[in-house]
Structures are given as structure tokens and as C-alpha cells.
A and B are shown apart, each in its own frame.
Chain A
Amino acid sequence: QKEVEQNSGPLSVPEGAIASLNCTYSDRGSQSFFWYRQYSGKSPELIMSIYSNGDKEDGRFTAQLNKASQYVSLLIRDSQPSDSATYLCAVKSRETSGSRLTFGEGTQLTVNP
């Protein structure tokens, strides 16, 4: 079983629509959850962090966390063509002393004008 699993892409949405990205994780001890955006050939760029159950909103982005279900998601409202990128879910376990991030393989999002 993969440690961090993301819904397989690619995901294509029209401009202005809501894009929904999902992630599940296997380690129940996970404490911190992050969404990164990665454009082709570039480094991961932090979009959102979430640490407790529920929703967290930042502009057009909403992260949702459900620790009981070991599930974290990212909603992008009013999607723009500039949102086209690969979205990486990353998880940090309190069990590891060095606080490594474990990444999923990413979901490629395309927003069509």
C-alpha cells in the first residue's frame, strides 16, 4: 500500500469550474498535511497547510482534512488556466524525528479556457 495516494489524473476542468483533488494516507500518526503545486520543470510551491480536522480556506483554495478517514482534499474554486499544474499532497508524521515530508505522486490538473 502506498503511503500517500492521490486520485489518478489527469484531471481536466473548464475555466471557472471547481477542481477537486483527493489524497489518502496510510499512517494514522500523521499530523501535518500540505498541498503543493508544481509546474513542469519547477520546484514544489506551497499552497496550503492543514493540521486539524475540518476545512481551511485561503482565497480560491479550500483544504479539507478528515483524520478518521485518513483523507485530505483540495478544492480550487473558479479555476483559471494558470492553475494548470501538478498538485502534490504531502504528509508529515509525528513519529519521524526529522519530520520528513512523504509525497504522493501528484495529480495533473488542466484548466481549459
Chain B
Amino acid sequence: ETGVTQTPRHLVMGMTNKKSLKCEQHLGHNAMYWYKQSAKKPLELMFVYNFKEQTENNSVPSRFSPECPNSSHLFLHLHTLQPEDSALYLCASSPKGVVGIGSPLHFGNGTRLTVT
């Protein structure tokens, strides 16, 4: 049990489908993040939410739409994806938005997404 739970663990979707990834944290943290992990590439930060407010959108295409209804839940809505969007999508949380000292990220186990 990592404290950060992601569902589903695996997802296969066609390019015309609409699906959502879910993340839930049980750590009482106030900041949540979406990262994309592709083979042989550094982790890419996608979105950051602090106290339910989006504070960073790292030039992510609009076919990815985040939603943060409260500090414990984070969603990533997907529509009309491309095959190159296939990757491991990782959710993370931290006590607050500053990770510099004593507040590292806590990651979920990720959702393995395959776009066909």
C-alpha cells in the first residue's frame, strides 16, 4: 500500500475512445501531480494541482484534461489519443507544493496505457 492508489492498472483504448484515469491519495497531502513515463525518456511533468487549483500545465495537448475535485482525488480524462500517447501515467502527491525540503513526492504504481 503506497498511500497513493491509481486505477486502472492497465488500460487499452482506441483512438476514438474516451476514458479516465483515477488517482486517490490517503496521505493528507495538498498537492497532486500527473507524470508521463515513456520508454527511454525522462519523466515528463504534465500537471500540478495545489489545494485543488491547477498551478502548472506543462504544454500538454488538450486531448489530456485533468480534474481535481478535492485534495485527495485527481483524474486525467483522455479523448482522441494517439498511439504515441501510450505510456505509464504516474500520479504523485506531496504535503504541499514545495518539494525542496522534507516533502518529497509519493508516487502511485501508475496506469499502463496502450492506445491502439
A and B: interacting chains:
no
Interface residues of chain B, those whose CB is within 8 Å of chain A, are none
Residues on A close to B: CB < 8 A?
none
